[in-house]
Amino acid sequence: MKTLKGDNIYIRALEPNDLEFIYAIENDQSIWEVSNTNTPYSRFLVKQYLENAHQDIYEAKQLRLAICQDQDFPAIGLIDLFDFDPRNNRAGVGIVIQKNENRNQNVGSEALELLIEYAFHNLNLHQLYANIGTENVASTALFTKFGFQMIGIKKDWTLHQGNYKDEAMYQLINTKF
C-alpha cells in the first residue's frame, strides 16, 4: 500500500521501527476500554505482529496504518480497518491518537477522511462501521462529521471498572458505487 497523504498528515503501512510506539499504545491501560484489550503485550509479541504486518488485508482481515505528521517524525496514532469481510464488502474502523497535544488538531479527521477514501475507492467497500461507547463524545463527533449514522445501541456491552456501559454502532454506506 502506498502512503496516503493529506494536507497535514499522512497514513502509512507499519514499519519495524514502529515497535516501541505500538508497544506503548497496546499497553496504555487508559485506552483498553475502547480497544477491547485485557492484558499487556510483550515487545516480543508486538515484534511478531510487525513481522507479519506485510500480509494484505485479504489475508489478515485487518489493516493497521500509522498516522504521521511529517516524514521525519514517528507515528502519533493508528487507524485500523478490522473484521474485513470481502464477501459483504465491509469493515470496522478504529482510530487512536496517542497524546493529548495531538488531539483536537484535526489529525483524526484527516486520517479518517483518508481511510474512508481508500476503503471506498481502492478496496471498493460498500460500508464501514464503528463501535463507539455512548459516553465517547469526541469519537461520536468525529465519525458523524463524515456521515456515519448511529444504527443501534448495544446495552451493557462493555464492562469497565465494574460497570457495564452501552456501545453505539455507527455505519457509513458507500452510495457512490
Q: Which residue has the cell 471498572?
A: 161
For strands 163-173 and 10-13, give the pairing.
unpaired
Location of C-alpha cell 514502529: 18
Res 75 pLDDT > 80: yes
Q: Mind listing the pLDDT tens digit for each residue in 101-136?
A: 555 578 999 999 999 999 999 999 999 999 999 999
Give the residue among 93, 76, 65 at the shortest CA–CA distance from 8: 76
Alpha-carbon separation of residue 87 from 37, 58, 83, 125, 172 (angstroms): 27, 11, 12, 10, 17
Alpha-carbon gap, residue 96 to 106, rounded angstroms: 13
**38-51 burial: b if 16+ Cβ within 10 Å, else e:** eeeeeeeebeebbe
Per the prediction, the chain carries an average pLDDT of: 87
Whether pLDDT at 47 is above 90: no
Give the DSSP H or E segment for 84.
strand 77-85
Rounded (to 5) percent helix, strand, coil in the chain:
35, 35, 35
Work out the number of other CB atoms within 10 angstroms of the CB of residue 15.
13
pTM for this prediction:
0.88
Residue where the block lists cell 454506506: 173
Q: What is the pLDDT of residue 115?
A: 97
Pick the closest to residue 95 from 107, 109, 80 (CA basis): 80
Q: What is the pLDDT of residue 40?
A: 74
**How many Cβ atoms sit within 10 Å of the Cβ of residue 144?**
15
The C-alpha atoms of residue 111 and residue 34 are separated, in whole angstroms, by 18
Task: Grade residue 72 by pLDDT with cuts at 50, 70 and 90.
Answer: low
Residue 100, pLDDT above cutoff 70? no
Beta bridge partners of 153: 168
